[in-house]
Amino acid sequence: MIKKLKSPYWPLHLMLLPGLLLVVIYSYGPLFGIIMAFQKFKPAKGFFDSPWAGFDNFQYVLDMPDSARILWNTVIIALFKIVAGFIVPIIVALLLNEVRKDVFKRGIQTMIYLPHFLSWIILGGILIDILSPSSGIVNQLLAWVGIEPIYFLGDNRWFRQVLVMSDVWKEFGFNTIVYLAALTSINPSLYEAAIVDGAGRWKQTWYVTLPGMMPIIVLTLTLSLGNVLNAGFDQVFNLYSPQVYETGDIIDTFVYRIGLIDAQYGVATAVGLFKSVVSFAFISISYYLAYRLANYRIF
Amino acid sequence: MVERLTTGRRVFVAVNYALLLFMSLLCLLPLIHVLSVSFSSSEAATAGLVKLWPVEFTASSYQFVLAKPAFLTSVGVTLQRVAIGVTVNMLLTILVAYPLSKEVTKFPYRTVYVWVFVITILFHGGLIPQYMIVKYTGIMDTIWALVLPSVVPVFNVVLLLNFFRGLPKELEEAAFIDGAGHWTTLWRVIVPLSAPALATITLFATVGHWNSWFDGLIFMNSPEHYPLQSYLQTVVINRDLSLVSSSDMKSLMEVSDRTAKAAQIFLGALPILLVYPFLQRFFMKGIVLGSVKE
C-alpha cells in the first residue's frame, strides 16, 4: 500500500495547477508591475532596471490642474449610477410582481433584459445615432414638440445625465432578476394573513413584500459600495469626446490616455494604483458588511 | 385566489401595464430604429425620414459591409477568440471549481487556494501593469492576448463550484468506493451531471468573448488582428478614416455613412440576438445557482 503514503491531495493540486499558473502570471504579475508607479519606467529597461522615482509620479498627478476634476467626475457619475441603478430595478420588480398574466410578464422580461447582453460598442453606436443633433430621432421628436436640438453627447450640461440614464437603460431590466427571485420566495400565507387583517394592496406591498425583499436590497446596496470609483470605462470611453472632458473624463479614461496614448507609464500606473487602493478599501468594507448583514460569502 | 376588482385596482393594473410596456419599448425601439435605418436608402436615412420601418427598402449597406475585407477579417478573429477562449475558459473553470468545491476537511489547502483567487477580484494591478505583462510575456498581437489575461473567470468558478456542492454527495462517494480517483470522478460523474450549469457558464463565456473590445484595441498592434467589436469601435464610434480604403471610400459615397454604421451595429448584435432565447432560459438558472450558498 505505497499509494497511501502519498498525499491523497495531489490530483486536486494538479487540477488547480494550470489555472493557478496563469492567474499568477496575468493577475499577480500586474500586482508586481505596480512598482512602475514608483519608477521612471522605460519599457525597454523593464520592471527591474528602470530608474526609481520615489513619489514623483504621484506628485506630478497632484500638480496637474485636471486631477481634482477627474476624481470629482468619477465619484459623482458613479454615485448617481449606483443610486439610480439601485432604485429603478426595485420599482420595476414590484410592478412586474403585480402582473398576473404570465405571458405578458415574460414578454416584458424578455425585452428589458436584452440591453444587458449587448456591448457598449453596440449600445454606444445606437446612442450616437439616435442622439445625433442633426439626424438623430430623439432630436426629431424634440423638434416635434418645439425644442431646439440638443447635442447630448457634446454638451457638458447633458453628458452626465446621458451617462446615468443610458447606464440605467442597459442594466435595470437585468437587475430586476434578483428581486424577482426574492419575491417568489415570500411565503404566500403572509399575504393571506395580511388580507385577513384587512390590508389592501398598498399595505400588503409595504408590510409584506418590501420586508421580504429587504435582505436582498441590503445585499445589493452594500455590494454596490465597491463601485464608488467605477464610473464605467466601457460606456464613457465610447461616448465621450474632448468637448465633454470637463464633465465626463473619469479616472479610467484618464489612465488610458496618459498611459497608452501619451506613454507616461509611471504616472498612469500611479493613478491606477490610487484607484486600486481606494476600490480595495471599499470592496473589502462592502464584502465585510454584506457578510455581517446578509451572511453573504463569495466562496 | 379570486379577487374582487375595485375601480382603483383596475386603474392601477391599466397604468402598470402601460408603464411596463413603455419601459420595454424603450429597450427595444432604439434597436428597431437602427435596424430600419440599416435597411433604408441612404437618401432617406440622411434626410432623417426613417422611424421604425425601412424607407425605400434596400440591402445595399449590408452588401457594402459584407464585401469589406476588414469587416470579414475581424469576424474571423472574433470566431477564433470565441472558439479558443471559451474552450480554455471552460476547461480551467471546471478544473479550478472541482477542488475548491471540496470541504476544508476533505481538502485542507482549499482555504489557501480560495484566497489566491479572491485576492484577484479584490485588488487589481491596473491597466498599465497588465499591458506590460502582456507585452513581456510575448503574446502581444496574437490571439492569446485576448484569451490568457482573463483565463480564469472567477465568478463563473463560484457559480460552478456552488453547483458542484449541490450535487448529492453519495454519487461521488460511490465512485470513490468503486475505485475511481478524483479525475475519473470529475469527468465521469460530476461533469455529466452538471450540464445545465456548464451550459450557462459556456454561454456567459461566449457572450463575454464576443462582446470584448478593449483588449483587442490595446493588445493588437495591427488593425487586421482586431476582433469584430474592436473593429466596430474604430469605425462606428471613433471614425478612423485610416481604416477605410480608397475603394471603400467610393462605395461609401453611395451607401452613406449612417446606413453603413447601422448595418454594422446590427451585425455586431446579431449573434447575441440569436442566442438570446437560450441565454434567457439559462441565466435565470445561473443567477439562482449563484445564490445557492450554504
Q: Mean pLDDT throughout B287-294?
A: 48
d(CA B198, CA B286): 10
Structure-model confidence comparison of residues B48 and A258, the more confident one: A258
CATH class for the domain made up of A43-294: mainly alpha
pLDDT single digits (tens) A206-223: 999 999 999 889 989 988
Q: Contacts by A251-256 with C-beta closer than 8 Å and gap 24+?
A: A251/A70, A251/A71, A251/A74, A251/A275, A252/A74, A252/B127, A254/A66, A254/A70, A255/B126, A255/B127, A255/B128, A256/B127
Asked if residues A35 and A57 have their Cβ atoms less than 8 Å apart, the reply is no
Structure-model confidence comparison of residues A3 and A109, the more confident one: A109
Using the predicted structure, report yes or no on whether residue A296 has a pLDDT greater than 70: yes
Nearest CB partner across the interface for B51, out of A119, A137, A276: A137
Using the predicted structure, report yes or no on whether residue B292 has a pLDDT greater than 70: no
- Binning pLDDT at 50, 70 and 90, where does residue B58 land? very high
Predicted confidence at residue A267, as pLDDT, reads: 96
- Binning pLDDT at 50, 70 and 90, where does residue A286 land? very high
Predicted confidence at residue B294, as pLDDT, reads: 36
- Window 227-266 of B: residues touching A by CB (8 A cutoff) are 229, 232-233, 236-237, 258, 261-262, 264-265
Mean residue pLDDT across chain B: 88
Nearest CB partner across the interface for A284, out of B122, B152, B207: B122
Using the predicted structure, report yes or no on whether residue A2 has a pLDDT greater than 50: no
H helix runs in B48-153, sequence order = 60-66, 69-100, 110-122, 127-136
Asked if residues A81 and A89 have their Cβ atoms less than 8 Å apart, the reply is no
Q: Mean pLDDT throughout B37-41?
A: 94
DSSP assignment letter at A51: P
Q: Model's pTM, two decimal places?
A: 0.91
Domain boundaries, chain B: 7-62, 66-291
Residue A131 C-alpha cell reads as 442622439
pLDDT single digits (tens) A35-88: 999 999 999 999 999 999 999 999 999 999 999 999 999 999 999 999 999 999
Residue B194 C-alpha cell reads as 452538471
pLDDT single digits (tens) B189-228: 999 999 888 988 998 899 999 999 999 999 999 999 999 9
pLDDT single digits (tens) B60-114: 999 999 999 999 999 999 999 999 999 999 999 999 999 999 999 999 999 999 9
d(CA A25, CA B144): 13
Predicted confidence at residue B247, as pLDDT, reads: 57
CB pairs under 8 A between A and B: 256
Query: Which helix or strand (DSSP H or E) is residue A93 part of?
Result: helix A67-97
Q: Mean pLDDT throughout B251-267?
A: 83
Q: Mean pLDDT throughout A113-141?
A: 94
Q: Which residues pair with A39 in a beta bridge?
A: A52
Share of chain B above pLDDT 70, in %: 89
Mean residue pLDDT across chain A: 92
Using the predicted structure, report yes or no on whether residue B241 has a pLDDT greater than 90: no
Q: ipTM value, please give it.
A: 0.91
Using the predicted structure, report yes or no on whether residue A261 has a pLDDT greater than 50: yes
Q: Mean pLDDT throughout A5-33?
A: 92
Predicted confidence at residue B248, as pLDDT, reads: 61
Confirm or reject contact between B116 and chain A (CB < 8 A). Answer: yes
Nearest to B232 by CA among B78, B48, B32: B78
- Binning pLDDT at 50, 70 and 90, where does residue B7 land? confident
CB contact under 8 A, B95 and A95: no
Predicted confidence at residue B251, as pLDDT, reads: 59
3-class state of residue B151 by DSSP: coil
- A-chain residues within 8 Å CB-CB of B182? 11-12, 15
- Window 15-74 of B: residues touching A by CB (8 A cutoff) are 16-17, 19-21, 23-28, 30-31, 33-34, 37, 45-46, 48, 51
**Hey, of B128, B158, B206, which one would you mutate to test binding to chain A, going by the most A CBs within 10 A of its CB?**
B128
CB contact under 8 A, A128 and B236: yes
Measured from the Cβ of residue A74, the count of other Cβ atoms closer than 10 Å reads 23
Predicted confidence at residue A130, as pLDDT, reads: 94
pLDDT single digits (tens) B126-179: 999 999 999 999 999 999 999 999 999 998 999 899 899 989 888 889 999 999
Q: Fold for domain B66-291? A: MetI-like fold (1.10.3720)
Predicted confidence at residue B286, as pLDDT, reads: 59
Predicted confidence at residue B257, as pLDDT, reads: 85
Nearest to B60 by CA among B84, B44, B81: B44
CB contact under 8 A, B126 and A275: yes
CB contact under 8 A, B126 and A276: yes
Predicted confidence at residue B282, as pLDDT, reads: 72
Using the predicted structure, report yes or no on whether residue B289 has a pLDDT greater than 70: no
CB contact under 8 A, A22 and B148: yes
- Binning pLDDT at 50, 70 and 90, where does residue B293 land? very low
d(CA B209, CA B146): 8
Domain boundaries, chain A: 43-294
Predicted confidence at residue B1, as pLDDT, reads: 47
Using the predicted structure, report yes or no on whether residue B2 has a pLDDT greater than 70: no
pLDDT single digits (tens) A87-105: 999 999 999 999 988 899 9
Structure-model confidence comparison of residues B232 and B256, the more confident one: B232
Asked if residues A171 and A234 have their Cβ atoms less than 8 Å apart, the reply is no
d(CA A219, CA A286): 9
